[in-house]
Amino acid sequence: MTRAEAAIPGFLRAVVGGHLCFRFPRVCEGVRWLCRSGRRLPCGIMMRFGLSPLSGSGLVLCCLLLGAVQSYALELNLKDSKGTCLFAKWEMNFTVSYETTDKTFKTVTISEPHNVTYNGSSCGDDQSSAKIAVQFGSAVSWNVTFTKEASYYFIDNILLSYNTSDNTTFPGAANKGSVAVNSSQRVKVPLNDIFRCNSLLTFKVDSVVQNYWDVHLQAFVQNGTVSKEEFVCEEDKPVTTVAPIIHSTVPSPTTTPTPTPTAIPTPKVGNYSVTNGNATCLLATMGLQLNLTEEKVSFVLNVNPTTTNFTGSCQPQTAQLRLNNSQIKYLDFIFAVKSENRFYLKEVNVSMYMANGSVFSTANNNLSFWDAPLGSSYMCNKEQVISVSRMFQINTFNLKVQPFNVTKGKYSTAQDCSADEDNFLVPIAVGAALAGVLTLVLLAYFIGLKRHHTGYEQF
């Protein structure tokens, strides 16, 4: 039997004679949990673990429950006679929407596994693929395969299978049976590099949404040692932006042309959406430019929609759109209903990674932008500026949003921001017209009065 060790936050160590280490007592058997002080946990539980190890390999898998985020961290260190042959450390969760017997749709989130096994994980070689296989009881299984070609390895297929016959995981499911969801990725990685992607990767196929982040993995490890050379995913690579250029004037005996600052390009327009079950509940199309001024230094970031992930939620009175990428930890747009018949942008929350390693965060929950009637969308093609705080503002381009009452995944009739300007100009125009009429009346009066006075003098 191979030996597996898993380091758990809050514990000194846990030694398992099998494959699984997990914080729930009902899952871990054969584990003696020790606190950092060396004392047993208050529950005083010592249990036995009955999983059979994989022949010819050691498997290390550590599953941690994150309190605020519904997800779990996994760490796999699969070994052969030379040492480590497959290493993976990642976080993930996934949601499944299904129809119930009462003709409604229900969504479940798979994030706290129990009865977990890892049968079928393998190192692979030049002739066969490597695989990570995870089973969550009888209801859900998850596999990812890797292939090797010359001096590269490829992250190929991700296969998620779930069984709606399991009433515990899928209560009240109308259609019983197994469903397989395949997602082909084909990511090419140099053979001696470890793949790293801290950004959120979201794959949506049919009614299943899979989320992955903080991914570090290396298949077909050479010489039994995990590489320190990283191959970074596109989402983690910094987005190239043009920063303001400050020119200094140096006295010179000759006349030279005055340099002009380089113009910041207009950001690309991205399409974003949020679903509730199988239906789209929020639509947003916009180009975003983030402007931060800190200690008199300006920083401008154009949000690249091709490397930006999006998620969110929809409620009867509020809706949220969240964006994130390698430079933006999160950017939240929160909409609300007012007067029961209109919507508006009420709140913006942002947290950004700075070049010096710090994190800038700010929020404003007292905004009033993008006001339009419920059942319609809001559109503004010209540039708009949203001042979130004294230091941070968002410039939007070619904006169109509809956070409520989306029908068939399409925008409804739009209220244009020019209508706001028209509404503002109407009273001004009316006032100007009245002032003109009054001026003409007074002028006519004084002219008439003067003529009348002149007539008396002649008499």
Quick: pLDDT tens for 439-459: 888 877 777 776 665 555 554
Mean pLDDT of 9-22: 33
Q: What is the pLDDT of residues 131-170, one digit of tens each?
A: 999 887 778 899 999 999 989 999 988 999 999 999 988 9
Write down the pLDDT at residue 456: 52
DSSP string, 30-68: S-B-BBTTSPBPTT--B----PPPPTT-B--BEEEE-SS
Mean pLDDT of 70-75: 60
SS3 state at 7: coil
Residue 398: CA atoms inside 13 Å, Cβ hemisphere, count? 9
Identify the bridge partners of residue 155 per DSSP, sorted by sequence position. Answer: 146, 187
Q: Which of 174, 173, 203, 171 is nearest to 187 (CA)?
A: 203
Sign of the alpha-carbon torsion through 386, 392, 398, 401: negative
Average pLDDT, the chain: 77
Burial class (CB in 10 A: 0-12, 13-18, 19+), 53: middle
Sign of the alpha-carbon torsion through 322, 325, 328, 329: positive
Q: Which of the given ranges, 190-204, 207-221, 397-411, has the highest pLDDT on average? A: 397-411
**pLDDT over threshold 90, residue 424:** no
Show Cβ contacts of residue 32 under 8 Å, excluding neighbours closer than 6 positions: 14, 15, 40, 46
- In one-letter notation, the amino acid at residue 228 is K
Mean pLDDT of 398-411: 95
**pLDDT over threshold 90, residue 220:** yes
Among the ranges given (15-29, 203-217, 388-402, 410-424), the one the predictor scored with the smallest mean pLDDT:
15-29
Cα separation, 347 vs 349, in Å, equals 7
Cα separation, 410 vs 408, in Å, equals 6
Q: Which of 111, 176, 165, 109 is nearest to 139 (CA)?
A: 165
**pLDDT over threshold 70, residue 242:** no
**pLDDT over threshold 70, residue 43:** no
Write down the pLDDT at residue 458: 52
454 backbone dihedrals φ, ψ, rounded to 5°: -65, -40
**pLDDT over threshold 50, residue 28:** no
Q: What is the DSSP letter of 25?
A: T
- CA–centroid distance for 69 within its chain: 13
Write down the pLDDT at residue 240: 47
Q: Which two tokens stand for residue 157?
A: 């297929």
Cα separation, 380 vs 269, in Å, equals 13
Query: Maximum distance among all alpha carbons in the chain?
Result: 133
Contact yes or no for 125/117 (Cβ under 8 A): no
Write down the pLDDT at residue 29: 30
**pLDDT over threshold 80, residue 119:** yes
- In one-letter notation, the amino acid at residue 434 is L
User: What is the C-alpha R_g of the chain?
Assistant: 31
- CA–centroid distance for 315 within its chain: 19
In 233-383, the DSSP E strands lie at 269-276, 279-294, 297-302, 309-314, 318-324, 328-338, 342-353, 359-364, 369-373, 377-380
Cα separation, 137 vs 418, in Å, equals 57
pTM equals 0.44
Q: What is the pLDDT of residues 251-282, one digit of tens each?
A: 555 555 555 556 788 999 999 999 988 899 99
Number of residues written out for the chain: 459
Q: Which of the given ranges, 94-103, 205-214, 393-402, has the highest pLDDT on average? A: 393-402
Among the ranges given (241-245, 323-327, 345-349, 402-406), the one the predictor scored with the smallest mean pLDDT:
241-245
Angle at 233 between CA 230 and CA 237, to 5 degrees: 95
Q: What is the dihedral of CA 373, 378, 382, 383, to 10 degrees?
A: 100
Q: Which two tokens stand for residue 143?
A: 């596999």
Cα separation, 62 vs 73, in Å, equals 7
